[in-house]
């Protein structure tokens, strides 16, 4: 199994199960530009099965736009579409997570900006 490192910003708030057993989020990373000069975005779906990581870090510290570094391994996941077709998708199973831009820091900064105005 290969270990991958991916750095990016969350495309949306993480989806976390009620018991914190599973967290899913998508990271987007800009990798240069395409031939037309538009930014080239690469996305990866990440899944965490670590209950403590999900509860203590992902639920409290990650939100849309936050930057994070994820280290993990890719797996293929099979699923059925709404019309019954079988598909597979790659997911990065989180082994380690480093949050570079905490959601709490953004909230604190926004509150300071409102007070200053």
Separation of alpha carbons 58 and 16, rounded Å: 8
The model carries a pTM of: 0.79
Cβ atoms of residues 60 and 104 within 8 Å = yes
Closest CA to 49 of 28, 67, 24, 27: 24
In this prediction, residues 22-32 reach a mean pLDDT of 93
- Residue range 4-116, CATH number: 2.40.50.140
pLDDT tens, position by position, 34-83: 899 898 989 999 999 999 999 999 999 899 999 999 999 999 888 888 99
Name which of 93, 94, 105 is nearest 65 in CA terms: 105
Q: pLDDT band for position 112 (50/70/90)?
A: low
Strand, helix or coil for residue 49? coil
């Amino acid at each position: 199994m290969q270990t991958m490192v991916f750095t990016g910003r969350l495309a949306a708030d993480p989806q976390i199960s009620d018991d914190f057993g599973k967290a899913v989020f998508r990271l987007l990373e800009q990798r240069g530009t395409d031939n037309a000069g538009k930014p080239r975005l690469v996305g990866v779906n990440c899944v965490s099965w670590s209950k403590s990581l999900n509860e203590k870090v992902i639920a409290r510290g990650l939100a849309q736009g936050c930057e994070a570094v994820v280290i993990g391994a890719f797996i293929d996941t099979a699923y059925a579409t709404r019309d019954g077709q079988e598909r597979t998708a790659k997911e990065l199973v989180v082994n380690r997570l480093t949050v570079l831009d905490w959601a709490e820091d953004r909230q604190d900064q926004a509150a300071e900006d409102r007070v200053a105005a």
